[in-house]
Amino acid sequence: MDAKLKYKSKKIKIVFFDIDDTLRVKETGYIPDSIKTVFKQLKEKGILTGIASGRGIFGVVPELKALQPDFFVTLNGSYIEDKAGKVIAQTPIARNVVETYIAWTKEIGIDFGLVGSHQAALSTRTPLINEAIDIVYPDLPVQPDFYQDYNVYQMWTFEDIGDSLQLPKDLGEHLRLVRWHPHSSDVVLTNGSKASGVAKVVEYLGLKPENVMAFGDELNDLELFDYAGISVAMGISHEKIKAKADFVTKTVEEDGIFYALEELGMVEKELHFPQVTIEKTEGPKATIKTNHGDLKIQLFPEQAPKTVANFIALSKDGYYDGVIFHRIIKDFMIQGGDPTGTGMGGESIYGEKFEDEFSPELYNIRGALSMANAGPNTNGSQFFIVQNSKIPYAQKELERGGWPAPIAEIYASKGGTPHLDRRHTVFGQLLDEASYQVLDKIAAVETGAMDKPLEDVVIETIKVED
């Protein structure tokens, strides 16, 4: 992320989002959970949110309305409401222009649609119209004289002519075409656009264009991208949009909006601490069977994917069968995983030492399964389980040191080795009280030189439940 763009993001006071293929996937309706996080965190930071769409308000799906955007710039800027339903601005198309447009469609033999502030209608129904419009507005009525009862803010063409379709000169003085579908264009006022609508909100709020960020993906976002202080194109965007954008992010399915805002420092990933709610955590589990009892462990592939994959593969291959815990220090940890039994050996499935995976969601609390290493990014096959039950720190001291409150509470009440955090990769956690009893039993064995047990503590095998 460009440092200049990060600096500009500090001036953002309102963020506008397109809907289709920006907030949600048009074809499937999929909206990632991260969108809720985005709206929640922006609100907490005092940053306003808005919808800027070619859709009418009646086309904003309930899931997006539930996010409570502060403003709805709809119908390409021609109708604007705030979240309370107050009309901020509206620019209907003159009745005589609508009638002239309808006459032109009949003259050249194409179909049309008419869009009001809160409803729309079609001139007819055909398979071509159904294919274009139903995914956005299902079940629109056929009502070619809709304009006689309602103000019209936008119109549609329905045809298979494509970009070669041009309005006649008399209509071109009032209207322009914005292609949004292979078989349809929005017909909007010549000076109407998402940008003009957003500008009215900005004026209403007493802000400046530099205070605006816009997310979009299609040609009807071009003017808004020129207007906004920061413009972000989705990964699936039209090439002209990508070329104009300040930043091109990922797709909806890849949490593109969250990714861009996180890169800009405007939102943060919501952390979940699986060790705190270990009984509810799902995913692969392992049982280290020793000659002193079983150690049942929950693994964390989401936070440490490469480390967990290594441990599982080695376990299933029998790599750890018969290997001893070669280093045991009471009130600290038990260490094993080296087939040479010396603490100097062991290889990963990758054929070489592999990198650390430090997750802000995992810590070396009592019972944590962690990778042993010889320095940064030197992981192989060796691991240890934290056994220490007491540390000389209070919860508040740990919180002041930067540890999250739920983790600081566990460290203070149950123990662990916080000094190993960000030095050793945590990738698992003991699951039950019986396992802790076995851990303490092993930690209590008599040891000699190099903290090696006088009598071998043996890993008989490791069973994995995927």
Euclidean distance between CA atoms 71 and 87, whole angstroms: 10
Instruction: Please pick, among 2, 18, 139, 456, the residue that the annotation labels catalytic.
Output: 18
Q: Is 396 exposed, middle or buried (0-12, 13-18, 19+ CB in 10 A)?
A: exposed
Backbone dihedral region of 226: left (phi > 0), alpha (psi from -120 to 50 degrees) or beta? alpha
Strands (E), 29-174: 48-52, 71-74, 79-82, 87-90, 111-115, 120-122, 154-158
In sequence order, which residues have a C-beta less than 8 Å from that of residue 20 and are 6 or more positions away?
A: 26, 53, 55, 136, 217, 218
Asked if 126 and 158 count as a contact pair (C-beta separation under 8 A), the reply is yes
Beta bridge partners of 39: none
Closest C-alpha among 54, 47, 94 to residue 72: 54
Euclidean distance between CA atoms 139 and 123, whole angstroms: 13
Per the annotation, the verdict on 217 as an active-site residue is no
Cα separation of the two ends of the chain: 37
Asked if 389 and 414 count as a contact pair (C-beta separation under 8 A), the reply is yes
Six-digit token string for 167: 């309005």
Six-digit token string for 99: 């009638």
Residues forming the active site: 18
